Amino acid sequence: MKILLTADPEIPVPPRLYGGIERILDALVTGYVARGHEVTLFAHHDSQVPCRLIAWKGKQSHGTNSILSNTRQLFFHILREDYDLVHSFSRLGYLVPILPMRIPKLMSYQREPTIGQIKKANRLSRKGSLLFTGCSDYISNQIKPVADAVTVYNCVPTGRYTFTRTIDDDAPLCFLGRIEPIKGTHLAIEVAQRTNRRLVIAGNIPAEGEVYFREKIQPSLNERIQYIGPVNDQQKNVLLGQSAAFLMPIQWNEPFGIVMAEAMACG
């Protein structure tokens, strides 16, 4: 098959540090190519993938100029090519010009779906040509009342992780994820304090989480509760494998945290 995949333009595929959707795309590209499919990926210009890469002209997934630029770029590219499938992990709006076309289109959601946009897209699309996927039943069940949708769970390539069967008696707990209230980093600290266990906190601090980090996390840091910043895949493998438990005290409806599967792959 000749397959076109799209990612958001902000983060390379695969990501160097943070980037859940980009990890899924990396696994898909690698798997498709290994099975003999011809793959093209629209993504960040620094992506390192074993297929044809086309860099988005618009550098952001938000903002009128970038959205229009990327929508035009994708549309005219598809007109010149003969794809068997267009599989989007980026903006639904990018697909608007090709919705009436016969080409099969797959829109995958790794985040909360915008139902109003999905309704409009479903009305514009040629019948039977557009399918939505959600990374969990929680996501796909929101879409099913207004459009065709199925659940396709996230995965991790287990060959990249080392399953660790034994750990030290004093192994720490670990928290791995964005440092912000909805991820519950402060609750991970509370668990460590109540159980008298060491805790290693790893992850990026988004701009909107800086005040939370300063007020709720930083005051609790000491020799037993440490923040080590973002980690790459190799560091993550060691951290998860050497921890007594992975803590994920989320405070929101998590679509599907890939880190859960990564933690299980490490034991």
**CATH number, domain with residue 83:** 3.40.50.2000
pLDDT digits (tens, 9 = 90+) for 79-96: 999 999 999 999 999 999
Residues 117 and 218 in one domain: no
The CA distance from 25 to 14, in Å, is 8
Strand partners, 105: 86, 130
Per-residue pLDDT at 17: 82
The mean pLDDT value for 17-27 works out to 89
Residues 169 and 121 in one domain: no
Per-residue pLDDT at 125: 95
Residues 131 and 216 in one domain: no
Number of domains in the chain: 2
Residues 41 and 69 in one domain: yes
Full domain range(s) for residue 34:
2-151
Which pairs from 82-86 meet CB under 8 Å and 24+ separation? Answer: 82/2, 83/2, 83/3, 83/4, 83/40, 84/1, 84/2, 84/3, 85/1, 85/2, 85/3, 85/4, 86/4, 86/6
Residues 91 and 175 in one domain: no
Determine the Cα angle at 32 with ends 126 and 233, to 5°.
120
CA 222 to chain centre: 31
Per-residue pLDDT at 16: 84
pLDDT digits (tens, 9 = 90+) for 126-159: 999 999 999 999 999 999 999 999 999 998 888 8
- Type of residue numbered 240: L
Strand partners, 246: 174
Residues 120 and 38 in one domain: yes
Per-residue pLDDT at 47: 96
The single residue listed with the structure tokens 């912000």 is 180
pLDDT digits (tens, 9 = 90+) for 102-113: 999 999 999 999
Mean pLDDT of the chain: 95
Q: Identify the domain boundary among 136, 151, 166.
A: 151
Q: Where are the beta strands (DSSP E) in the chain?
A: 2-6, 38-43, 52-55, 85-88, 105-109, 130-134, 149-151, 173-176, 199-202, 225-229, 245-247
pLDDT digits (tens, 9 = 90+) for 202-214: 999 999 999 999 9
Per-residue pLDDT at 233: 87
Residue 14 preceded by cis peptide, ω within 30: yes
Q: Identify the domain boundary among 151, 172, 205.
A: 151
The CA distance from 67 to 223, in Å, is 46
Residues 256 and 210 in one domain: yes
pLDDT digits (tens, 9 = 90+) for 169-225: 999 999 999 999 999 999 999 999 999 999 999 999 999 999 999 999 999 999 999
Residues 128 and 248 in one domain: no
- Proportion of the chain above pLDDT 90, given as a percent: 90
Residue 6's nearest CA partner among 75, 63, 65, 82 is: 75
Per-residue pLDDT at 173: 98
Q: Identify the domain boundary among 121, 151, 181.
A: 151
Per-residue pLDDT at 196: 96
Residue 200's nearest CA partner among 178, 184, 221 is: 221
The mean pLDDT value for 62-77 works out to 95
27: tokens are 């696994």
Q: Is the pLDDT of residue 20 over 90?
A: no
